[in-house]
Amino acid sequence: MTSLATAIIEKASAIGFDAAGISPTAPSSRRAEFDRWIASGMNAGMNWLARDPQRRTDPAQILPGVKSIVSVGLSYQVEDPPPLLWNDPLRGRVARYAWGHDYHDEMLPMLEELGEFIRHELGAGADAISRCDVDTGPLFEREIAERADLGFIGKNTMLISRGFGSYLLLGEILLTANVAEECGENVPKGTCGNCERCQAACPTHAFPAPYILDSRLCISYLTIENKGAIPEELRPKIGNWIFGCDECQSVCPWVKQFRKPGRQLFLKFDPEFCAPQLSALLALDDAAFKSRFAGTPLLRPKRRGLLRNVCVALGNSGRREALPALECAARDAEPLIREHAEWAIRQIENDAK
Ligand code: SF4
Ligand code: SF4
């Protein structure tokens, strides 16, 4: 490895990243699978994924002349939630990455600091750095991270680090400098072997085959990116997840093995953000919703989307004490919330028969 490559990886560690690597660039080897996935409609309503696949699968389309990509990982593993709260059907579950402020705000300044360092080290080649991305760009981050030796892609489609499991936020910096010339091709170390736990654990059977995720069935899509109604047949399978889902990660033996928290503890278990009381969420008007979730990923589905999810979770609780809040939500000005509240009321009343 070149001394510059070593210096970049050491600097990434000093900044606080839990994993870092560098890979030479090449078009994605998964383009044909990606095209088939899009053609089959498994990107659900995420139409932006189908736009300009050439740009998405070839880093040179983003930065002409790109030769190396620095890939970094930041662990968001923190302590497990208290089971009493986590399993309380009158509380909602929030995916672990969203237990706090928006991770982009944490990670982008770290990436920018690393970018500044590289710019300084490159000197005359300072214009070599194109961009710092944290999952907002078009790149196939997991494949790039796999090539940079950060881990391997598991059957649940997540990048699995041998040191940190899959609770790892990824980012990258594109360089026209040939920093990776001596890094060579990495062969992914680690494998799923015969394990199929994630496939069996998925509540909505969103994996038609290992390594393939049908977003139309995935709770993460249904509760975050999906702007419309949640299909009725899927609602009972969502349980009390109200924002995302970690089931296919939490069962993974690699995740179980690497339970130690990362070094940057930017998340922590706070019951009212990680497992909030559902009825209280239904009482939020638009201003209260924005104020409560300001600066967090939970703003993304907006009030209408989050309260839609809350109604589904309360319907799944089967608990009659949820009825007053749901009856109120059934009179909400937002039709999406009204319809899901009415469904939830029917669920609870049918459960009681
Ligand atoms: S996030 Fe949840 S719903 Fe989506 S594939 Fe994983 S286990 Fe299934
Ligand atoms: S649960 Fe098993 S099959 Fe799924 S990603 Fe982890 S190791 Fe691979």
The reported pTM is 0.92
Which residues does 315 contact at the CB level (< 8 Å), separation at least 6? Answer: 235, 236, 326, 340, 343, 344, 345, 346, 347, 348
Ligand 2 and 338: CB distance under 6 A: no
Neighbours of 120 (CB within 10 A): 9
- The whole-number pLDDT of residue 135 equals 54
| DSSP-based three-state secondary structure for 263 | coil
* DSSP type of residue 225: I
The answer to whether 270 touches 99, Cβ cutoff 8 Å, is yes
| Alpha carbons 305 and 16: distance in angstroms, whole number | 34
CA of 33 to the centre of ligand 1 (A): 20
Ligand 2, from 189, 191, 194, 196: best to mutate by most atoms within 8 Å of Cβ?
Answer: 196
CA of 98 to the centre of ligand 1 (A): 15
| Alpha carbons 182 and 230: distance in angstroms, whole number | 50
Neighbours of 189 (CB within 10 A): 10
- Please tell me the residue having the least CA distance from ligand 2 atom 4: 198
Alpha helices in 123-174 (DSSP H): 141-147
β pairing state of 93-94 and 241-243: parallel
The alpha-carbon radius of gyration of the chain (Å, integer) is 22
Neighbours of 105 (CB within 10 A): 13
CA of 10 to the centre of ligand 1 (A): 35
Cα–Cα distances in angstroms (integers) from residue 20 to residues 73, 114, 151, 252, 314, in the given order: 6, 11, 10, 22, 42
CA of 295 to the centre of ligand 2 (A): 32
- The whole-number pLDDT of residue 2 equals 65
- Please tell me the residue having the least CA distance from ligand 1 atom 4: 218
- The whole-number pLDDT of residue 187 equals 64
- For this structure, is 135 an active site residue? yes
| Alpha carbons 325 and 207: distance in angstroms, whole number | 35
Ligand 1, from 93, 202, 215, 217: best to mutate by most atoms within 8 Å of Cβ?
Answer: 202
- Which residue has tokens 């509540």? 203
Catalytic-role residue among 88, 105, 127, 135? 135
Ligand 1, from 196, 205, 247: best to mutate by most atoms within 8 Å of Cβ?
Answer: 247
Strand order across the beta sheet in which 68-75 lies: 19-24, 68-75, 168-175, 129-133
Cα–Cα distances in angstroms (integers) from residue 313 to residues 37, 80, 223, 249, in the given order: 30, 21, 11, 21
Pull the structure tokens for residue 197.
């736990």
- Please tell me the residue having the least CA distance from ligand 2 atom 1: 252
Ligand 2 and 253: CB distance under 6 A: yes
CA of 220 to the centre of ligand 1 (A): 7
- Please tell me the residue having the least CA distance from ligand 2 atom 2: 195
- Which residue has tokens 């982009």? 104
- For the chain, 353 residues long, give each residue's pLDDT as a single digit of tens: 668 899 999 999 999 999 999 999 888 888 999 999 999 999 998 998 888 888 888 888 888 888 899 999 999 888 888 999 999 999 999 999 999 888 888 888 899 899 989 988 887 555 555 455 555 566 788 999 999 999 999 999 999 998 889 999 999 998 888 887 655 556 667 789 999 999 999 999 999 999 999 999 999 999 999 999 999 999 999 999 999 999 999 999 999 887 667 776 677 788 988 999 999 999 999 999 999 999 999 999 999 999 999 999 999 999 999 999 999 999 999 999 999 999 999 999 987 76
